[in-house]
Structure 1
């Protein structure tokens, strides 16, 4: 009997020790989270708000990004980054002349140009209808600039404009056993602002899911439905569908991922496929690395269809190097 009691006492003692160790580990994680949050906090944040970020469990990098965006948006004049903002001063490709054949610059385009992207959003309202459902307005512009081509007065060869209204749900939930960090539904317009034979545009409803594989690894997919447009009477008709076969090349969705190796190093990828017998695919790879405390270097490789709307049905391959002003996280 004494032996049984002794075994029970030892068992409970081991359990208590393990429980205490678990609590210590949890407190240590929370302390690390709080210290990290303090370093990133602005002058308006309270200690209670920072503690809330670190309760229950240490948040993922994605959750921290969401919280920082909400804190920044307390300033009603705040406009925050959406997609990465970057400049690639050395962007090398083999320019496909086909879309420009009947234009004055067709044979004068250089293979080396500058590619840059500006992407911003505004948090219009938080907790719409229920908690963690936000409404955002976003605008992204991506340009391919013949900056070194003085022979044709250094024109912007192509610029894509992408305004959208986004409904973001930040509450975590499980989809078929996978941890969803964010669910989004957006109304998206994308066009290149051109007329005549160079005009390209489409409107989509996009459903997206973001998953957290680990604290520093995110992946997700987006699927879209293209809103139908009327058929053009002729190529120069200003109304109607500029690119009726765009789904044959861009497909109906894409898969992406991000690995944040450290505070400054990250790897990313995007994969797209049309899932047809006449297979058309796309892959984009990116590497971000530190330059200083505010700017990251950035290398981007693209191979496939749809890098820009003018090339939605043309295969392109591009390598660019430059720097990022803001990253995904």
Structure 2
């Protein structure tokens, strides 16, 4: 039967049962958390060895491993951790639509080859906010399209999208219509391109998201959003008011994503978005492949086809193929 002595030290938790078996736990992983929870609820006749064996059968999903790593890193109150993937695509080829830039300094001189990169970070502000496994996070993502090879117009940043978020993240597993939900998020999301006048684009959303992990190496994600309304512009160049009142006709009301982690370094991902209109149907698809280069950096190939790759092109169809490096991945 389980009769335990529990000893705490600065670096470990030591459990000794009646048979003299000793188990030392360092920073908790999922199996160790299972063991500690099991000690509270175990049958009196169950041995520590039996309990440990049952917990070792529970293999944490890749998503749970990511959550655990984030929590370990966030024990340092100065830690800022990755949010979405961080990547650089030095070779990014598209067919630039010059229309939004007419009557601007760059005019029709934009190149089809540019650099695309993304920096995405978050800060775990508070754990177990109201109840266990509910965290409050702040995140910031910036994605840029840089005309780095276009010396004729002084290599400007053609477009940069800024996306700050406040996120309530509930990462306790539960079931939705029989599907295993690994994470539930509710966030306030602002996205803009930091421009003024005819190039200005922005919107504010409340986003509800679910992450499903049907198997250990496959993750599905679904997000749906409600756009917060804005006042209409009085004139086209009015600095206040809605810059893009028809954005949901192109961006829709949600998106579906998936990630297949083939191995430690190989993964395939997709994003699918559609406005679900029978007439004037609009949508987008993005595909990604990550592959190993060395222990720290992955190669990354990304393909996009549709509307809304960037805010300036929310209502323009674009297709892009890029290859480069991914510094951090989804998992």
TM value normalised by structure 1: 0.85
Structure with higher helix content = 1
For 1:88 and 1:48, locate their aligned partners in 2 and report how far apart those are by CA, in whole Å.
37
Query: 1:210 and 2:203 equivalent?
Result: no
**Could you give the per-residue CA deviations for residues 76-129 of structure 1, whole angstroms, max 9, x where no partner exists?**
000000000000000000000111111121211000000000000000000011
Query: 1:99 and 2:100 equivalent?
Result: yes
**Could you give the per-residue CA deviations for residues 157-211 of structure 1, whole angstroms, max 9, x where no partner exists?**
0000000000000000000000000000000000000000000000000000000
Query: Could you tell me which residue of structure 2 aligns to residue 164 of structure 1?
Result: 165
For 1:217 and 1:54, locate their aligned partners in 2 and report how far apart those are by CA, in whole Å.
23
Query: 1:47 and 2:49 equivalent?
Result: no
> For structure 2, which runs of at least 5 residues remain unmatched after alignment?
1-23, 36-54
**Aligned 1:149-160 pairs, distance under 5 A:** 149-160=150-161
Q: Is 175-184 or 100-109 further displaced after alignment?
A: 100-109
Q: Is the 8 A contact 1:84 1:324 kept in 2?
A: yes
**Could you give the per-residue CA deviations for residues 215-239 of structure 1, whole angstroms, max 9, x where no partner exists?**
0000010000000000001121111
289 and 48 in structure 1: CA distance in 2 versus 1, 3 angstrom threshold: closer
Query: Could you tell me which residue of structure 2 aligns to residue 42 of structure 1?
Result: none
71 and 244 in structure 1: CA distance in 2 versus 1, 3 angstrom threshold: same
**Aligned 1:133-144 pairs, distance under 5 A:** 133-144=134-145
Q: Is the 8 A contact 1:53 1:59 kept in 2?
A: no
Query: Could you tell me which residue of structure 1 aligns to residue 62 of structure 2?
Result: 61
Task: Report the RMSD for the aligned CA atoms in angstroms.
Answer: 1.2
For 1:46 and 1:94, locate their aligned partners in 2 and report how far apart those are by CA, in whole Å.
56
Length, aligned pairs only: 285
